[in-house]
Structure 1
Amino acid sequence: MFLKQFSRVLDSPLVLVLDSDPDSLFLMNEMVTLCGSVALTAQDGATALRWVDEYQPALIVTELVLPKVDGFAVVERIRSTNNSVPIVALTSLPAYLFYERAWRTGCNAYIEKPCPIEQLQTVIHRYLDRTLSPF
């Protein structure tokens, strides 16, 4: 609950970032912060699903390969509750094999790792309706 209130006080959207790799999670946390949002992080799908219900993030950025509950299942469960939160797949899985499945599952965007920071920034801002920062 604290993060939700903190996000409101700062008038910043709350972004849930899911990745099992600590380095990727750290980088995404920094990127979300640079975009003017508050990051909430999870390293597995089960935790992420709890936090979606508890914190109601404005955007979700997820790796599709996750322990316990994979990213595809996370997206399916979120969509099964008619939750319309934008979901961005930021994944090491090649698009030519998994883009269509991610789209059918309910992802709004698909970005392959590694990706340029500018690409990720553009997608974050697109789904949060925020003005691009000058960095």
Structure 2
Amino acid sequence: MRQTEKSRILIIEDDAHIAEGLKLNLSLQGYEAAIAGSGTEGLRMWKEYNPHLVVLDIMLPGLDGLAVLRHIRLEDEKLPVLILSAKGALDDRIKGFSCGVDDYLAKPFHLEEFLLRIERLLTRASWNRDRSGGIGRAEPGETQRYTFGGNSIDFSTLTAECRQGMIQLTEQEARLLRVFIANRGKPLSRKIILEVGWGYSGVTTTRTVDNFIVRLRKYFEDDPQNPIYFRSLRSVGYLFDHP
């Protein structure tokens, strides 16, 4: 069944001939498609383009496809991702599914099968959105709130009600909060937080992460010197959790 909404699909593929062919055929099916030619560009466009589905190659220059997938899953466990790769051996498929991919199609492939898999993934994702909660990734205009302790965060307006009253969050603060919320109860290293929260900037250091944690504790902890929500883990990083 064709989607009534024009779904956005991000193609992360370094072979320009394949990428342009996929984009053309997806456009003919009524989808909106964009192309990223590397893993690093793919992560940047994923954040900016806010796609409904990602088509991902594994063998990419710089950052490989599995690394891209792991970073996406840190922030969004529900975004449909289809791996399209020449690495079609069983071990490669197992690695892909272990990293959280939703479907795996080996090259060479039949276009009709590819399009059917895309349609199935989008239909299932739409069905899940209608029946489940969770913060996911915000759609334009969508109100999304998250509460913990006596705090309430509205990601649609970048505001929070906390111990300091009503405050305005920066986009970076909201992005880090999303990372922690999506990984509630999971230890995160400073390096992972840095890469997911800031991308791959060579001028940003792990000390920047520490400074932002201090800021979040000031906003949301009753006693910032003895945090219970944003906790430090020695030799590991940080962990966000709450009752």
TM-score range, shorter chain: 0.7 to 0.9
Q: Which has the higher helix share?
A: 1
Which segments of 5 or more consecutive residues in structure 2 lack a partner in the other structure?
Answer: 125-243
- Tell me, yes or no, if the aligned pair for 1:59 and 1:85 is still in contact at 8 Å: yes
Cα deviation, residue 83, structure 1: 4.0
C-alpha separation between the residues in 2 aligned to 1:23 and 1:11? Answer: 27
Other-structure match for 1:78: 72
Cα deviation, residue 97, structure 1: 2.7
Other-structure match for 2:47: 53
Other-structure match for 1:133: none
How many residues in Structure 1 have an aligned counterpart in Structure 2? 121
C-alpha separation between the residues in 2 aligned to 1:82 and 1:116? Answer: 29
Normalised by the length of structure 2, the TM-score is 0.48
Normalised by the length of structure 1, the TM-score is 0.84
- Is residue 108 from structure 1 mapped to residue 102 from structure 2 by the alignment? yes
2:105 alignment partner, SS class: strand
C-alpha separation between the residues in 1 aligned to 2:63 and 2:92? Answer: 17
Cα deviation, residue 81, structure 1: 1.2
Q: Which amino acid in structure 2 is aligned with residue 32 of structure 1?
A: L
C-alpha separation between the residues in 2 aligned to 1:95 and 1:30? Answer: 28
Cα deviation, residue 11, structure 1: 3.8
Cα deviation, residue 28, structure 1: 1.0
Residues 34-69 of structure 1: CA distance to partner in whole angstroms, max 9, x if unpaired? 221000100001011011111210000011110111
Q: Which amino acid in structure 2 is aligned with residue 86 of structure 1?
A: P
Structure 1 or 2, whichever has the larger Rg, is 2
Q: RCO greater where, 1 or 2, for CA within 8 Å and sep 6 or more?
A: 1
Other-structure match for 1:87: 81
- Is residue 19 from structure 1 mapped to residue 13 from structure 2 by the alignment? yes
2:11 alignment partner, SS class: strand
Other-structure match for 2:62: 68
Superposed CA RMSD in Å reads 1.6
Q: Which amino acid in structure 2 is aligned with residue 56 of structure 1?
A: N
Cα deviation, residue 118, structure 1: 1.1
Q: Which amino acid in structure 1 is aligned with residue 91 of structure 2?
A: L
Which segments of 5 or more consecutive residues in structure 1 lack a partner in the other structure?
Answer: 1-9, 131-135
Other-structure match for 2:115: 121
Q: What is the percentage of aligned positions where both structures have the same residue?
A: 28
